[in-house]
Structure 1
Amino acid sequence: MAFSSSNDSDEVLSEINITPLVDVMLVLLVAFIVTIPVLNNAITVNLPKTAATQPAEPKKPVTVSVDAAGKVYLDKQELPVSSVEAELKALHAANPDLTLHLSSDEAVNYGTVAKVMAAIERAGITRLAVITNAE
């Protein structure tokens, strides 16, 4: 604290008193420490004990690829575009939860990719992921 006496000259006091600032910061810190546990609205539940189970093994998705020349591949096996639908229907009949990944070269004609996508839709496959590269 700065005290002045009558003997001192009238100089300007250029020191900053940080005591009130520290007091306010400590009060805010205590307030945050007290309120943060209150913000957690989780309900405490005692879960029942059961036998451990193995998670279901994820099935590998089928990959349909179209290269730059317009050739269609079903899991690295080349197929004509006309027979893609029949092959996919057979795979879908064997596994109704079939997941399909579609990848195509960026230089391929859009018409070829559209034909493959139409064959996928007619085969009844609903789980389709189009594979791309991130920019």
Structure 2
Amino acid sequence: MAMGGGAGGGHVRGRRRARKRPLSEINVTPLVDVMLVLLIIFMISAPLLTVGVPVELPKTEASAVETDQPPVTVSVDQEGAIFVQRDETAYDALLERVADAAGETEREDLSVFVRADGRAPYQAVARVMARLSAGGFTKLNLITDTAPEAEG
């Protein structure tokens, strides 16, 4: 038997040792893993960044208010207790606490957000707003939740 045409022999063609070349693509798997972890962290922490006094806001159809500077938030809870930012405040000390929270901002230029629980007594909310208005705070905003679409 004659061996012909390159069959046989000890050398196998086509099987060469692979050369290690630099990877020309970026491995995005670790990047995606990190981004998903950050997304989860931000989703969990975002609700905690709101003002700390838990109130159930009444529902309205008003739009959002645009403001240039960070406002001072005055909250009235279900029992009628008053909070400036997160600290409970007596009614008599309300103006001083709001002015302290405002810092260098003038009273006429400061936006004061009043957050009142929907179950809070109307008298408590009206007293707070009247006290702030009489104290020189002219930009008062009553914060509410947006209502769902009107039914029928």
1:61 has 2:74 as partner: no
Where do residues 1-135 of structure 1 align in structure 2 (5 Å cutoff)? Answer: 58-90=68-100, 94-96=104-106, 97-135=109-147
Cα contact 1:71–1:78 (8 A) shared by 2: yes
91 and 124 in structure 1: CA distance in 2 versus 1, 3 angstrom threshold: farther
- CA positional deviation for 1:89: 4.4
CA shift for structure 1 position 105? 0.4
User: 1:78, 1:132 → 2: CA distance?
Assistant: 20
Task: Say if 1:92 and 1:124, in contact at 8 Å, map to a contact too.
Answer: no
Structure with larger RCO (C-alpha < 8 A, sep 6+) = 2
TM-score, normalising length from structure 2?
0.47
AA aligned to 1:66 is: V
TM-score normalised by structure 1 residue count: 0.52
String of CA shifts for 1:56-94, please: whole Å, max 9, x gaps: xx4211000000011111011110112112323455683
Q: CA deviation at 1:95?
A: 0.9
Change (3 A) 1:63 1:103: same
8 Å CA contact 1:88, 1:123 repeated in 2: no
- Aligned residues between the structures: 78
1:89-133: CA deviation from partner (whole Å, max 9, x where unpaired) = 455683112111111001111111111011111121111111001
Q: Could you list the structure 1 runs, at least 4 aligned residues long, displaced by more than 4 angstroms after superposition.
A: 89-93
Supply the distance in 2 between the matched residues of 1:103 and 1:65 (Cα, whole angstroms): 5
